């Protein structure tokens, strides 16, 4: 008896579903792509319980004839290719004929469709891949596919499904990518009766970007365009001042298909050159039109991996398109405009500063030419301005009239810092996460160390401080030193979060894409544990009305986005690790950088602060803060003393 048998069709489809249908978002992707291939101009996705209970996709495309409806559930049955030659000139999003039978095999599926060539429509009902009902019905031209009880017959798959919010975030991301790829189609996404996404279908890509990322983001996007004999590249990229902490905001499209390609991502970053700081990534939508013969999309069932011929030429084309567009932009801020805005902002804060409140602020001492913390106790601005000038580096829009909105929109900004000072900010893989966990544990187990008395006498290259003590010469890395000082400050303040919150006279608004907004809502308790309370305020927007006293108001915009980025980059976050990571991140980004000259008073003050640290010898990343050359070491270097050595005779040379 033969041991090898042909698997039943339903079982084969369930096996195929393991690759094609990973989660509810996979179902949405496949069904919407079919609707796009059908020539639809309007597509509505209506889901319940993040797609686990029901997914319904309605389009106004060309529909199917009755003879094709049942055939569409057969494996590898498709209308998009007919010969082997067609496989190398694919212009549609789907072509394998696997998606619909795979979906039907792990759900209860119904299809209601009609085409212009027939005077009636067709309704089909399938349960676990078996057709139970098929009949003629009256329905408008187009297709409505309903998927219910996904994975009802494969319960093992349900174990790997994450929370409803996480699954919904994946679905939102799919719709966002497809709406960027096809701005000419009007997309609507509804979850549990609530409309989450609605695009106009105007065909304007910039308008689609504004609908997804917000109007403020769209205003900071610039157009790119380039072409050669094989490729045509177009799209929008963000200015260098608008960045994110991961590559998720980069969308690469080939012939209307969203793809993932590391080398093309690299080409985008190369186009920016040194204009991007380390660990930051732009927002970009790159649309590539290519002869289908040069792109092989038949690599993986999900069709997101594409092999491209002449890939190096395409990379060069993308990089040059981005570089040329950035070269045409005025990337130098208007100093006079910024000074005017800062002055307006200072005047707005005068009334709040004169309140009899006790708070810590950063002040600049003209006499000593240094920044430091000063505690005010109900003093007025007039009294303090005689000696101190309050520093506020944040630039806000002036309020024109009482009727105008007093809510500030926070924007992500780029930091002026040396890339060499902070190479460890981005967690790229699990090994780095393990390293960070070990780092956090080591930092907690640090023992208090004694610090030598140092006499500062100079600085080199705006980076290293020189001091002498009883132990000899000491060379101090000024960035690492202040990073250690600030780390211990933030670690203490963030660790003792209490009810001490400072009310904001003017609240801040923070905009996010819909999928990130949903994820942050789910992880909001983590932010609450460190004293950050964001409230939902309108569509995909949070409002901040108060902030912890350890967070300076001028740092609010950047700090809140950085905290949110850290939450979005990690799947599992503990309060303990989050506080430690937050202290490390904030200390690094807010420390003085290399090539920054310090006066004598500032340098001595930094060394004094360093001497009071629990561990003054290493920065939070483990790099040394200072090195020591003893008097004996110096004498050996200049050969003032000789080390004991063995004569050549004793070595047996003579």
Residue 330 burial by Cβ neighbours in a 10 Å radius (0-12, 13-18, 19+): exposed
Q: Does position 208 have pLDDT exceeding 50, yes or no?
A: yes
Distance in angstroms (rounded) separating the CA atoms of residues 308 and 531? 49
Per-residue pLDDT reduced to its tens digit, 232-244: 999 999 998 888 8
| CB atoms near residue 496 (< 10 Å) | 10
> How far is it, in rounded angstroms, from Cα 168 to Cα 175?
11
Same domain, 598 and 475: yes
The string of pLDDT tens digits covering residues 20-74 is 788 899 999 999 999 999 999 999 999 999 999 999 999 999 999 998 898 888 8
Residues 6+ apart with CB under 8 A from 577: 436, 437, 440
In a domain, 420, yes or no: no
Task: Tell me which range, 17-26, 197-206, 454-463, 624-633, is most confidently predicted by mean pLDDT.
Answer: 197-206
**Residues 249 and 157 reside in one and the same domain:** no
Give yes or no: residues 152 and 228 share one domain.
Answer: no
Task: Read off the pLDDT of residues 592-618 as tens digits, 9 standing for 90 and up.
Answer: 666 677 787 888 888 888 887 877 877
Query: 450: pLDDT confidence band, cut at 50, 70 and 90?
Result: low
Closest CA to 282 of 190, 412, 113, 164: 412
Asked whether residue 514 falls in the same domain as residue 442, the answer is yes
Identify which of 303, 28, 7 has the alpha carbon closest to the alpha carbon of residue 150.
28
DSSP letters along 100-164, please?
Answer: HHHHHHTSEEEEEEE-TTSSSEEEEEEETTEEEEEEEE---SEEEEEEESTTTT-HHHHTT---H
Residue 204 has a pLDDT of 93
Radius of gyration of the chain, Cα coordinates, nearest whole angstrom: 31
The residues with which 187 forms a beta bridge, in sequence order, are 43
Last residue of a domain, one of 305, 328, 351: 328
CA dihedral for 199, 201, 202, 207, sign (positive or negative): positive
Q: What is the CATH number of the domain that holds 130?
A: 3.30.565.10
Q: Among 328, 351, 382, where does a domain finish?
A: 328
Band of the pLDDT at 590, cuts 50, 70, 90? low
CA distance 483 to 592: 8
Q: What is the CATH number of the domain that holds 252?
A: 3.30.230.10
| Residues 169, 212 within the same domain | no
> Does the structure show a pLDDT above 60 at 383?
no
Tell the burial category of 418 from Cβ atoms under 10 Å away from its Cβ (0-12, 13-18, 19+): middle
SS3 content of the chain, % helix, strand, coil (to 5): 35, 25, 40
**E strand or H helix at 42:** strand 42-48
Task: Answer whether residue 380 is part of any domain.
Answer: no
Identify the weakest region by mean pLDDT among 230-234, 345-349, 461-465: 345-349
Cα–Cα distance for residue pair 94/304, rounded to 1 Å: 11
Least confident residue range of 80-94, 114-128, 137-151, 213-227: 80-94
What's the structural domain count of the chain? Answer: 3
Domain boundary among 297, 328, 359: 328
For the chain, what is the mean pLDDT? 76
| pLDDT at res. 142 | 95
Residues 237 and 178 placed together within one structural domain of the fold: no
Residues 117 and 258 in one domain: no
Q: Bigger pLDDT: 432 or 228?
A: 228
pLDDT at res. 630: 84
In a shared domain, residues 103 and 223: no
| pLDDT at residue 302 in the model | 66
What distance, in Å, lies between the first and last C-alpha atoms of the chain? 87
Which structural domain, as residue segments, surrounds residue 237?
205-328
Residues 443 and 575 in one domain: yes
* Residue 546 counted as domain residue: yes
Give pLDDT, residue 188.
95
pLDDT tens per residue across span 509-566: 888 888 888 888 888 888 887 778 899 988 889 999 988 877 777 778 877 887 788 7
**375/183 Cα distance (integer angstroms):** 54
% of the chain residues with pLDDT over 70: 71
For the residues 337-357, what does the mean pLDDT come to?
Answer: 41
**Which of 483, 585, 575 is CA-nearest to residue 531?**
575
State yes or no: pLDDT of 493 exceeds 60: yes
Confidence band, pLDDT 50/70/90 cuts, at residue 379: very low
pLDDT above 60 (res 387): no
d(CA 565, CA 487): 19
Tell me: do 541 and 465 sit in the same domain: yes
For residue 134, is it within any domain? yes
Question: Residue 140: its pLDDT value, please?
Answer: 93
List CB contacts of 481: < 8 A, sequence separation 6 or more: 465, 606, 607, 610, 616, 619, 625, 626
Between the ranges 193-202, 301-310, 421-430, 545-554, where is the mean pLDDT highest? 193-202
Alpha carbons 291 and 412: distance in angstroms, whole number: 38
Q: Is the pLDDT of residue 125 over 70?
A: yes
Per-residue pLDDT at 184 exceeds 90: yes
Is the pLDDT higher at 139 or at 570?
A: 139
| Residue 553 dihedral angles phi and psi, to the nearest 5° | -65, -35
Residue among 412, 386, 227, 193 at smallest CA distance from 313 = 227
Confidence of residue 271 (pLDDT cuts 50, 70, 90): very high
Instruction: Indicate the pairing of strand 54-59 with strand 42-48.
Output: antiparallel
Q: How far apart are CA 466 and CA 459, in angstroms?
A: 6
Dist CA 25 CA 55 (whole Å): 10
Say if residue 17 is in the same domain as residue 106: yes
Residue 111 has pLDDT above 70, yes or no: yes
Instruction: Read off the tokens for 617.
Output: 């010898």
């Amino acid at each position: 008896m033969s041991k090898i048998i042909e698997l039943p069709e339903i079982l084969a489809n369930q096996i195929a579903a393991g690759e094609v249908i990973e989660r509810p978002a996979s179902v949405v992707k496949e069904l919407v792509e079919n609707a796009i291939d059908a020539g639809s101009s309007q597509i509505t996705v209506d889901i319940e319980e993040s797609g686990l209970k029901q997914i319904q996709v309605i389009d106004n495309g060309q529909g199917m004839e009755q003879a094709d409806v049942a055939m569409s559930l057969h494996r590898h049955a498709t209308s998009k290719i007919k010969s082997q030659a067609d496989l190398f000139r694919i212009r549609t999003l789907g072509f394998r004929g696997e998606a619909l039978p795979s979906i039907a095999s792990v759900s209860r599926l119904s299809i209601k469709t009609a085409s212009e060539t027939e005077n009636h429509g067709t309704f089909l009902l399938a349960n676990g891949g078996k057709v139970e009902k098929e009949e003629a019905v009256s329905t408008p031209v187009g297709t409505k596919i309903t998927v219910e009880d996904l994975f009802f017959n494969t319960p093992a798959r349900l174990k790997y499904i994450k929370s409803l919010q996480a699954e919904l975030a994946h679905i939102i991301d799919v719709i966002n990518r497809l709406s960027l790829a096809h701005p000419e189609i009007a997309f609507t996404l509804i979850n549990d009766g609530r409309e989450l996404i609605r695009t106009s279908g105007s065909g304007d890509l910039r308008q689609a970007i504004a609908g997804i990322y917000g109007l403020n983001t769209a205003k900071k996007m610039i157009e790119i365009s380039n072409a050669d004999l094989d490729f045509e590249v177009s799209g929008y990229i963000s200015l260098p001042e608008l960045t994110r902490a991961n590559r998720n905001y980069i969308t690469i499209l080939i012939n209307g298909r969203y793809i993932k390609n590391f080398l093309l991502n690299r080409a985008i970053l190369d186009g920016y050159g040194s204009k991007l700081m380390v660990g930051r990534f732009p927002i970009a939508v790159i649309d590539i039109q290519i002869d289908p013969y040069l792109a092989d999309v038949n690599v993986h069932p999900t069709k997101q991996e594409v092999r491209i011929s002449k890939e190096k030429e395409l990379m060069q084309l993308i990089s040059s398109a981005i570089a040329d567009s950035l070269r045409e932009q005025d990337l130098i801020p208007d100093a006079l405009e910024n000074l005017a805005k800062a002055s307006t902002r200072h005047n707005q804060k005068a009334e709040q500063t004169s309140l009899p409140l006790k708070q810590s602020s950063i002040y600049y001492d003209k006499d000593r030419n240094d920044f430091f913390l000063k505690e005010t106790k109900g003093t007025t601005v007039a009294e303090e301005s005689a000696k101190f000038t309050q520093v506020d580096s944040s630039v806000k829009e002036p309020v024109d009239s009482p009727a105008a909105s007093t809510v500030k929109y926070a924007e992500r900004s780029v930091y002026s810092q040396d890339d060499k000072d902070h190479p460890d900010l981005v967690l790229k893989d699990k090994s780095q996460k393990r390293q960070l966990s070990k780092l956090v544990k080591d930092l907690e187990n640090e023992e208090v160390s004694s610090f030598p008395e140092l006499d500062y006498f100079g600085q080199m290259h705006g980076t290293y401080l020189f001091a002498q003590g009883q132990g000899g010469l000491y060379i101090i890395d000024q960035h690492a030193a202040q990073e250690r000082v600030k780390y211990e400050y933030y670690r203490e303040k963030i660790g003792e979060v209490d009810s001490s919150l400072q009310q904001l006279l003017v609240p801040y608004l923070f905009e996010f894409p819909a999928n990130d907004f949903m994820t942050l809502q789910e992880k909001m308790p983590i932010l609450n544990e460190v004293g950050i309370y964001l409230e939902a305020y309108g569509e995909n927007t949070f409002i901040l009305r108060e902030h912890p006293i350890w967070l300076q108001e001028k740092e609010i915009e950047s700090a809140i986005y950085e905290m949110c980025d850290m939450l979005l980059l990690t799947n599992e976050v503990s309060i303990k690790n989050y506080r430690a990571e937050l202290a490390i991140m904030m200390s690094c980004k807010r420390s003085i950088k290399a090539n920054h000259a310090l006066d004598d008073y500032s340098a001595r003050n930094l060394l004094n602060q360093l001497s009071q640290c629990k561990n003054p010898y290493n920065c939070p990343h483990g790099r040394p803060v200072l090195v020591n050359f003893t008097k004996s070491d110096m004498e050996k270097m200049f050969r003032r003393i000789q080390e004991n050595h063995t004569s050549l005779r004793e070595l047996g040379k003579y």
